[in-house]
């Protein structure tokens, strides 16, 4: 479990984990009368729950048929070698439209390897960014605004009841805390 101020991550694995937490996303409000409150006032605490699958590492595969290679003479300082050899490499990845130019090495072979590594890095960054944005969007959708109107469940300790506002199901607090979330 990871924890930061106001933020915690709980990792759950095993058979039935997905089904168990499938309907837990949303606001959960706990209401109780603390034992040290002399006037019997109800105190509320709210937590927003988001259920997301664990992200997997993005794998980048590049098909050689999608690559368009070309060479040219390098630019800048370099003397006669630079002016007479086509050691600079330009690489175009057709599916993504990304273009890479590499002329950092004297050897065309080394520049080809460097260009391919740069392309792979850029494709990985693009895929990771897209996956991150999709995950952030799912998180925002589930969390809502965190306000009282977005509540999923209310747990009332003072009368030992639990109400799921989405399904309209009720539990006793005792069975809810035991993990028995079936209908009663």
Three-state SS at 180: coil
Q: Do 108 and 126 share a structural domain? A: yes
pLDDT of res. 122: 87
d(CA 146, CA 5): 16
Structural domain includes residue 139: no
pLDDT of res. 148: 61
pLDDT of res. 95: 93
pLDDT at 65 over 90: yes
**For position 76, which CATH number holds?**
3.30.160.20
**CA distances, 29 to each of 44, 130, 147, 165, 181 (Å):** 7, 33, 10, 11, 17
> What are the tens digits of pLDDT across the range 71-129?
887 776 666 656 667 788 999 999 999 999 888 777 888 889 888 888 988 888 888 88
Q: Do 100 and 46 share a structural domain? A: no
* DSSP E strand boundaries for the chain: 2-4, 7-9, 26-32, 43-49, 67-72, 88-93, 98-102, 151-156, 161-164, 170-172
> What are the tens digits of pLDDT across the range 19-38?
888 788 888 888 888 888 88
pTM (two decimals) = 0.51
* Cβ atoms within 10 Å of 9's Cβ, excluding its own: 11
Range of the domain at 130: 64-134
């Amino acid at each position: 479990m990871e924890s930061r101020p106001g933020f915690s991550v709980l990792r759950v694995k095993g058979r039935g984990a997905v089904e168990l937490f499938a309907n837990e996303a949303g606001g959960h409000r706990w209401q109780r009368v603390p034992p040290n409150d002399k006037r019997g006032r109800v105190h509320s605490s709210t937590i927003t729950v988001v259920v997301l699958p664990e992200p997997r590492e993005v794998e980048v595969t590049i098909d050689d048929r999608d690559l368009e290679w070309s060479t040219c003479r390098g630019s800048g300082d370099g003397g006669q070698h630079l002016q007479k050899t086509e050691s600079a490499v330009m690489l175009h990845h057709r599916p993504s439209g990304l273009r890479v130019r590499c002329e950092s090495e004297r050897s065309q072979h080394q520049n080809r390897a460097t260009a391919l590594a740069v392309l792979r890095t850029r494709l990985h960054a693009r895929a990771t960014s897209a996956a991150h944005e999709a995950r952030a969007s799912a998180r925002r959708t589930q969390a809502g605004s965190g306000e009282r109107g977005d509540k999923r469940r209310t747990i009332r300790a003072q009368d030992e009841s639990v109400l799921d506002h989405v399904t309209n199901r009720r539990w006793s607090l005792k069975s809810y805390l035991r993990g028995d979330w079936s209908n009663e």
